[in-house]
Amino acid sequence: MLTVFPIPAFQDNYIWALHNDRFAILVDPGDPSPCIGYLSTRKLALVAILTTHHHADHTGGNLELATRYHPRIIGPAIENIPAITEKVTGGDTVFISELGLHFQVIATPGHTLGHISYYGANRLFCGDTLFACGCGRLFEGTPEMMHASLQSLALLPDSTEIFCAHEYTLSNIRFAKTVDADNAALLDREIFEKAKRHQRLSTLPSTLALEKATNPFLRCHENALDQAAERYLKHRPRNTVETFAALREMKNHFQ
């Protein structure tokens, strides 16, 4: 049986641990200490690290974990990933034999130029590309890149479970309500997610179906989002990319 567990790190990061009763994978271990504690308590052997992008809060634990456990460290080919042993690009497949897991590598540039996501066993580990009810900031890429990345993820099955790397859900919902206020599914989601956080539970995983229904950055084709972008731009967006860019800029300044 496969367990997927969010190891909290820093202020709002999640390091995802996938394991059976013997072997484990970590996704984006920015801090080694909670990872070592989790693995030690459960007597797990770390066999692989999956890295989505180069930011330190996603890679900061690589060197210490590499020294301690000697795992495979897999990451984007065009980014500088500490202790990397295997470089992958979109379209590649990663097989972790100890867990019997195949992951499809999906190129998802935007947050960074080389950002990748991993899809396998109906689970998507998408780092800082797709968040619950949001998306990542554009530190290196363009709106066109991020919009295309999100659209590629939207092609996955609706039942896909979404495991992103931060607990941003309630903040993202607050923003979404400012641009999609009449969305009943969004309002219902806010009640549900608030209840989980009140119990100190993670809001993740989400599902792709829920994101399509409530996430403004996957709904740029909807009239409500188009109109919100028009109010911000003071002109009608020419296409969904321009709508997306306006929404992302609005979110950048949202408090």
Catalytic residue numbers, as ranges: 53, 55, 57-58, 111, 128, 166
The one-character DSSP state at 90 is T
CB 116 within 8 A of CB 89: yes
CB 74 within 8 A of CB 51: yes
Nearest to 165 by CA among 207, 140, 136: 136
Task: Please tell me whether residue 251 adopts helix, strand or coil conformation.
Answer: helix
Residue located via tokens 């070592």: 36
Q: How far is CA 165 from the centre of its chain?
A: 5
What's the distance, Cα to Cα, between the start and end of the chain in Å? 41
Name all contacts of 200-205 with Cβ < 8 Å and 24+ positions apart. Answer: 202/6, 202/14, 202/167, 203/132, 203/167, 203/169, 203/170, 204/6, 204/14, 204/132, 204/162, 204/163, 204/164, 204/167, 204/169, 205/4, 205/123, 205/161, 205/162, 205/163
